[in-house]
Structure 1
Amino acid sequence: MIHEVDEVLKGLIGGGALAGSGIDVSFEVPTRDWAARRNAPVVNAYLYDVREDMGRRQRGRTGVRDDHDIVVRHRRPPRWFQLSYLVTAWTKTPQDEHRLLSAVLATLLPHELLAAEELPEPLGRLGLAVPVTVSGSQSEARSLADIWSALGGELKPSLDVAVTVPFPAFPDYDAGPPVTEGAVVRVRGADGGPPRSEERGHRPRQLAEARAAHEQAAVHRKEQSNKEQSKEQM
């Protein structure tokens, strides 16, 4: 999941205003040694924090339906994690770094919400949009000054980019066959004797529709199988 977010962020930063510039996007730790080794302009996106967004945690489960609107699997809600990146620009002069950082900011701001179709597999398979926050409010636990102190470097202009992504913490579970029959009522005597009336079945309209859809799906699968066998024989 983390490497997929790296791929998404690299594609966003490398596009837009920086498209065709040849400026690399690095995810290495921006230490003094790393800064001394670089010999070309670069944008660094250092992942410094990964934590669960507790406000998005959900309970229960949801049904995964097929083309006939029948529940075939059960899925637990994903857990959401916020990945925080320290994005900095590295050139020879502060003015060029400011221009490069401004280009990154202009590129990221229009992408506040990434649709599932824009995400790589298997992140996009969940069908959920991913929010991107640029230079939002920070808590004391994520002080940028403390981060630079831990890295052994001097404080530098930066963008705090947070990407909140869903993570499927639990596998899907197969669902049982759909209910197609209603309840059966048996009325017996007070002394436990034989029933005073015949069994009476109850089939609500929803159950009848579910049974019809299930039978229709079975017929459709059989027809598809026959077509595939005919193609193989030809």
Structure 2
Amino acid sequence: MIHEVDEALRALLRGALPEGTGDVVFEAPTRDWAARRNAPTLNSYLYDIREDVARRERGAFAERGADGTVLRRRQPLRWFRLSYLLTAWTNRPEDEHRLLSAALGTLLGHEVLPPDGLPDALAALRTTLPLSVAVPPPESRSIADIWSALGGELKPSLDVVLTVPFPVSPTYEVAPPVTEGAAVGIRGLDGEQGEARPRMLRKQRTEPLPAETDWGRANAHRDDAHRSTGPQGKGTR
């Protein structure tokens, strides 16, 4: 999934490059890489991947068919924050600042990755992919430490963060829905199998309950009188 996000970000950043020149790359901006560069370049280096735990969900989700029948169940998506170190590389600092400014203006115009520029794998998720740029990184990360690890000198850069979902496998197939009622078999005392009669599930009662008939009401009054007098014919509480 990460390489699809790279392609979507590359397509967005190409609009900031001078027409017909330059490229967007994702290599680590080390000294050796900088020495081989020979054209205006936007380097978008992926330096950090962390789960967005605030978006984590529990349980399983049902996937339904066209008729609403549950076909399978799957675990919810897990969202991750992909952090990119965006830098501009040319022969003159002024040109680098101009290129970095164009990249900032391009990214500020989008709060999410443009849907029309998403690869098929991302478009199939049918969800928006949030984008943030130049937001101060957490205290646990330092841009200076990143440049020290790369072995290069500190350069002006933009911190670009994309929040994307990752599908969690596996999915769980479910049994087909019940379409027929249960059948009850009757066996006589002599062991002979009787006729099996179908019994519909959740059948609505149409005949009155015993207490709702005249016989039931009469017996209910008799029982109440018996409880009020007690077995000795005397009133009880």
Report TM bin, short chain.
0.7 to 0.9
Instruction: Count how many residue pairs are aligned between Structure 1 and Structure 2.
Output: 191
Unaligned segments of structure 2, at least 5 residues: 184-197, 205-237
Normalised by the length of structure 2, the TM-score is 0.73
Question: Equivalent residue for 1:5?
Answer: 5
Question: AA paired with 2:76?
Answer: P
Identity among equivalent positions (%) equals 59
Question: Equivalent residue for 1:112?
Answer: 111
Tell me if the contact between 1:116 and 1:127 (Cα under 8 Å) persists in the aligned partners: no
Q: Distance in 2 between matches of 1:47 and 1:4?
A: 13
- Matched position secondary structure for 1:142: coil
Q: Distance in 1 between matches of 2:63 and 2:129?
A: 21
How far residue 37 of structure 1 moved from its aligned partner, in angstroms, is: 1.4
- Bigger drift between 49-58 and 18-27 goes to 18-27
**C-alpha spacing 1:201/1:74, structure 2 compared with 1 (3 Å):** closer
Question: Equivalent residue for 2:131?
Answer: 132
Tell me if the contact between 2:62 and 2:71 (Cα under 8 Å) persists in the aligned partners: yes
Q: Does 1:45 align with 2:47?
A: no
Q: Which runs of 4+ in 1 moved over 6 A?
A: none
**C-alpha spacing 1:41/1:203, structure 2 compared with 1 (3 Å):** farther
Q: Distance in 2 between matches of 1:201 and 1:8?
A: 53
Unaligned segments of structure 1, at least 5 residues: 185-197, 205-234
- Matched position secondary structure for 2:121: coil
**C-alpha spacing 1:51/1:183, structure 2 compared with 1 (3 Å):** farther
Tell which structure's C-alpha radius of gyration is larger: 2
Q: Deviations over 1:137-160 (max 9, x none)?
A: 311222101101111111111110
Q: Distance in 1 between matches of 2:54 and 2:36?
A: 41
Tell me if the contact between 2:12 and 2:117 (Cα under 8 Å) persists in the aligned partners: no
Question: Equivalent residue for 1:80?
Answer: 79
Q: Deviations over 1:179-208 (max 9, x none)?
A: 446899xxxxxxxxxxxxx9674159xxxx
- 1:81-230 aligned at under 5 Å gives the runs 81-114=80-113, 118-180=117-179, 201-202=201-202
- Matched position secondary structure for 1:14: helix
Normalised by the length of structure 1, the TM-score is 0.74
